[in-house]
Amino acid sequence: MTQEYIEIRGARENNLKDVSLRIPKRKITIFTGVSGSGKSSIVFDTIAAESQRLLNENFSMFVRNFLPRIPQPDADGIENLSMAVIVDQKRLGGGSHSTLGTITDISPLLRLLFSRVGRPYVGHASMFSFNDPQGMCPECNGTGRRLRVDMSKAIDKSKSLNEGAIMLPGYTKDSMDLTMLVQSGPFDPDKKLSDYSEAELEELLYGKAKKVATQFGGKTVNITVEGCIEKFSNKYIKKDLKTYSERTQQTVAPYISEGICASCHGARLSQAALNCKINELNIAELSSMEIGQLIRVMREIDDPVAAPVVKSLTERLQHLVDIGLDYLTLDRETDTLSGGESQRVKMVKHLSGSLVDVTYIFDEPSVGLHPRDVHRLNELLQKLRDKGNTVIVVEHDPDVIKVADHIVDVGPHAGSHGGTIVYEGSFDGLLEAGTLTGSYMKRLLQLKSDCRQPSGKLSIKNATLHNLQNVSVDIPTGVLSVVTGVAGSGKSTLINDVFLRQHPDAIIIDQSAIGVSTRSNPATYTGMMDDVRKAFASANKVNQGLFSFNSKGACENCQGLGVVYTDLAFLDSVKLPCEVCGGKRFKEEVLTYKLNGKSIAEVLEMTVEQALAFFQLKEVVRKLQALCDVGLNYITLGQPLSTLSGGECQRIKLASELHKKGSIYVMDEPTTGLHMSDVDHLLEMMNRLVDAGNTVIVIEHNLDVISLADWIIDMGPDGGSNGGQVVFEGTPAQIIHAKQSITGRYLMNAVN
């Protein structure tokens, strides 16, 4: 008899207050609740952690001796757990040798196809692999790229040699290198390079080594001189740069950039492999084709020998289309995929696999998906369930929450104000439950009517990077602009690549991790820790250094971390509480010094909210208030930044920026990890920034944010080569009537 529920009794990880619940097996259960309410504490720190621990127990005693004991999650009991697979948003690393094709196992099938029916006939399938010495381009070792001198940084043709036209190190006026180069020509050192003839320029930059006679200390000596680019690349590019000192590497690195390999043109493969074709196309051409088009090309192959391979290929490609990744190409390097794209790729891998009775755990899988494509995600979750798996999802998007068989709403609020289950049951029940989530689900959107007038504009002209189709667009200043469009339409390319390259002074508030060291926490990050240390020092008349994690006041066993990390070759590193200080991080002696009755360890255990009641110091209060304003009242001052979610990191960054004026802020999907009520909070913050005279540019799919923008730039019409254009610019009230805008259509539905 199979068990029908995963059962959890008395869970107490982080903020959980003795939580007990049952999760139906072979169903979709969705966890909802405000950020910091305890969803991850249940799903990841309790369920997934216990599953990992059980997995380790399966190893033989011999292997287990090498594994650290993973502590049991703090709970009275966890039962009927099947193996858990976590499908998260961690980027797929892997460097240039890992591509969408290799990671989905589609590339080996494509190679097999070419070895069977490609003409002229080539050897073996491995001849088509850029990871195989047989198949890789010998010039670039299968990377498709070569290092080269970045000419825009090396040479300024609008100047003469004496004015500094050669920007490479060593060629200043009257320098030895420049003097010899001028003599070797002869070149006119006062003529602008733009006035040089082509032959002169060729010789100046790329001239091969030759001996030049010169006077040195009264004698005639012969010195070898070569063109400046030629010399630089012989010295630093053709050799391994890593053999030079770190200082030299740093000096020359700015002049070196990566370009496409001239031999294989980026295809990474040997000429023999590239000459082999199916229907006039070689394997590199197929790999650089968008999945949506590739699948059509596959269907046109009608060779009985190829049929079985073509069938598996199209099946796998179809999975990628189904999850809305049809705009990607197989040769796309996995480390350039966004978090949301990475998660969807991982999802596809599992769908092709044949595991059953697995517990799949997803962390906000809707990230990066336009409302138009959310149904594709829902279908995928349902497919996994229908194969006999248990699906557990942490999600904020109402359109995903709707497909749950079972909903667990965690709350009522964050941190110590959360940690309980406020509702369990069906979606319809949630709407009537009166919880924060339930009431937000019923809300209709309001379109912003009193949009701000811009104070000026920032122009992007003729952008063509990636799929951008010669885009020229103005971004208004002094307002809240939202950039929208389906996944792959070109939003990040336009803003994160093109715009930010022109405006490197813009402040990026993203969700990337912020810990400078493992000892970083909200108190050190905001700078509040300095004031706190001073206060402790003067209250006790001792040196303030004692209260620092990296001083001799810190616990010696854990170096002030409170935990000890054990690294393992094939598992994530495991964290165990420090046995000496018991997690308090300081030496006994330091803990005897008090400030208003509290030790430094006790202060670091305070939540922002508690600290606000405790401190009167003006600077400390201002920083604490800023953390409260971004909704982080529930985090503790000493919580390691590495334990904060992406959304929490983003809000800490926001808190430390709130007092600035006249800046440009760029945020990429800031609503990730945020409950609908948290989104209201975030919008308040963004509006405060704009009211203080800043420009805020946001990439978003969240309809609440879009509906309250001052200005919308909608990219499209679709993803990949079918996108890359601005299809709409204007206000929320205008976009719902714009026929060409998919975003407008979905916004219209949400207000009605």
C-alpha to C-alpha distance for 427 and 438, rounded to whole angstroms: 9
Shortest spacing between CB 644 and ligand ADP, in angstroms: 7
What's the closest the beta carbon of residue 276 comes to Zn ion, in angstroms? 17
* In the complex, minimum distance from the CB of residue 557 to ligand ADP, in angstroms, rounded to a whole number: 19
Q: Does 408 bind ligand ADP (CB under 6 A)?
A: no
Beta carbon of residue 264, minimum distance to Zn ion (angstroms, whole number):
3
Q: Which helix (H) or strand (E) holds 354?
A: none
Q: Which of the choices Zn ion, ligand ADP, none does residue 33 contact, using the CB cut-off of 5 to 8 A by kind? A: ligand ADP
Which residues, 218 to 237, sit near ligand ADP by CB under 6 A? none
Listed in sequence order, the DSSP H helices in 234-387 are 246-252, 271-275, 283-287, 291-299, 307-322, 339-352, 374-386
Mapped to the 3 state alphabet, what secondary structure does 148-215 carry?
Answer: EECHHHHECCCCECCCCCECCCCCCCCCHHHHHHHHHCCCCCCCEHHHCCHHHHHHHHHCCCEEEEEE
Amino acid at 593: Y
Q: Is 6 in the site for Zn ion (CB under 5 A)?
A: no
Partner that binds at residue 128, options Zn ion, ligand ADP, none, CB closer than 5 to 8 Å by kind: none
* Closest among 359, 428, 347 to 389, alpha carbons compared: 359
Q: Which two tokens stand for residue 47?
A: 């369920």
Among ligand ADP, Zn ion, none, the one that 555 touches (CB under a kind-dependent 5 to 8 A) is: Zn ion
Task: Using alpha carbons, select from 638, 674, 635, 669 the residue that is nearest to residue 652.
Answer: 635
Task: Pick the binder of ligand ADP from 187, 196, 255, 327 (CB under 6 A).
Answer: 327
Output 228 or 555, the one with its CB closest to Zn ion.
555
Return contacts of 236-240, CB within 8 angstroms, 24+ apart.
237/147, 237/148, 237/149
Figure out which of the listed residues 139, 150, 200, 399 binds Zn ion, where binding follows CB under 5 A. 139
Question: CA gyration radius for the chain?
Answer: 30
- In the bound complex, what is the minimum distance in angstroms from residue 519's beta carbon to Zn ion? 12
Contact criterion met (CB below 8 Å) for 292 and 486:
no
Find the shortest distance in angstroms from Cβ 42 to Zn ion: 28
Q: How many residues bind Zn ion (CB under 5 A)?
A: 12
- For ligand ADP, which residue of 492, 511, 677, 743 counts as binding (CB under 6 A)? 492
Whole-number minimum distance, CB 12 to ligand ADP, in Å?
Answer: 11
How many Å separate Cα 617 from the centre of its chain? 37
DSSP string, 447-489: ---SPPPPSEEEEEEEE-STT--SEEEEEEESSEEEEE-STTS
Chain positions 453 to 472 lying near ligand ADP, rule: CB under 6 A, are 466-467
When CB distances are held under 5 to 8 angstroms depending on the partner's kind, the choice from ligand ADP, Zn ion, none that residue 557 binds is: Zn ion
- Cβ proximity to Zn ion: between 517 and 557 the closer is 557
Site for ligand ADP in 158-177 (CB under 6 A): none
Task: Pick the closer one to Zn ion by CB: 11 or 137.
Answer: 137
Give the one residue of 25, 39, 268, 653 binding ligand ADP; rule: CB under 6 A. 39
Q: Is 264 an interacting residue with respect to Zn ion (CB under 5 A)?
A: yes
Among ligand ADP, Zn ion, none, residue 336 binds (CB under 5-8 Å by kind):
ligand ADP
- Only one of the segments 157-165, 181-189, 207-215, 634-642 lies at the binding site for ligand ADP (rule: CB under 6 A); that segment is 634-642
The 3-state DSSP class for residue 501 equals helix
User: Amino acid identity, residue 18?
Assistant: D
Instruction: Pick the closest to residue 479 from 657, 649, 745, 729 (CA basis).
Output: 729
- 562 binds ligand ADP, rule: CB under 6 A: no
CA distance 44 to 49: 6
Q: Which is nearer to ligand ADP, 144 or 207 (CB)?
A: 144
Which range binds ligand ADP by CB under 6 A, 68-76, 122-130, 275-283, 326-334? Answer: 326-334
Find, among 82, 66, 99, 108, the residue nearest to 24 by Cα. Answer: 82
Bridge partners (DSSP) of residue 145 are 260
477 touches ligand ADP (CB under 6 A): no
* Helix, strand, coil percent content, the chain, rounded in steps of 5: 40, 20, 40
Using rule CB under 6 A, residue 37 touches ligand ADP: yes
Is residue 266 within 8 A of residue 156, CB to CB? The reply is no
239, amino acid identity: K
Q: Which does 15 bind (CB under 5 to 8 A by kind): ligand ADP, Zn ion, none?
A: ligand ADP
Residue 476 interacting partner from ligand ADP, Zn ion, none (CB closer than 5 to 8 Å by kind): none
Beta strands in 478-562 (DSSP E): 480-484, 507-508
Which residues in 547-586 contact Zn ion (CB under 5 A)? 555, 557-558, 578, 580-581
- Supply the minimum distance, in Å, between the C-beta of residue 404 and ligand ADP: 16
Spatial distance between the Cα atoms of 662 and 457, rounded to a whole number of angstroms? 13
Distance separating alpha carbons of residues 752 and 748, to the nearest angstrom: 6
The 480-484 sheet, strands edge to edge: 507-508, 664-668, 695-699, 480-484, 711-716, 725-730
* Binding residue (CB under 6 A) for ligand ADP from 29, 41, 524, 695: 41
Q: Total binding residues for ligand ADP by CB under 6 A?
A: 34
Binding flag, residue 643, ligand ADP (CB under 6 A): yes
Output the smallest distance, CB 35 to ligand ADP, in A: 4
**Residue 118 CB, nearest approach to ligand ADP (Å):** 26
101 contributes a contact to ligand ADP by CB under 6 A: no
Query: From CA 606, how far away is CA 602, in angstroms rounded?
Result: 7
Question: What residue 415 binds from Zn ion, ligand ADP, none (CB within 5 to 8 A, per partner kind)?
Answer: ligand ADP
Contact 647, 673 (CB under 8 A): yes
What contacts 524, CB < 8 A, 6 or more positions away? 549
Distance of closest approach, residue 15 Cβ to ligand ADP, in angstroms: 4
Does the protein bind ligand ADP through residue 489 (CB under 6 A)? yes
Report residue 392 as tokens. Answer: 């557990």
Which one of 98-106, 140-148, 526-534, 713-721 is the stretch in contact with Zn ion (CB under 5 A)?
140-148
**Interface characters, 709-748, with ligand ADP (x: CB under 6 A):** ------x----x----------------------------
Stretch that binds Zn ion, among 256-264, 293-301, 504-512, 735-743 (CB under 5 A): 256-264
DSSP 280: T
* Residues 6+ positions from 47 with CB-CB distance below 8 Å: 6, 8, 23, 78, 81, 84, 359, 361, 392
Query: Does the protein bind Zn ion through residue 747 (CB under 5 A)?
Result: no
166 CB-contact burial (10 Å; exposed 0-12 / middle 13-18 / buried 19+) = buried
488 contacts ligand ADP (rule: CB under 6 A): yes
Nearer to ligand ADP, 37 or 741 (CB): 37
289 binds ligand ADP (CB under 6 A): no
Interface with ligand ADP (CB under 6 A): 14-15, 33, 35-41, 327-328, 332, 336, 410, 414-415, 466-467, 485, 487-493, 634-635, 639, 643, 645, 715, 720
Interface with Zn ion (CB under 5 A): 137, 139-140, 261, 263-264, 555, 557-558, 578, 580-581
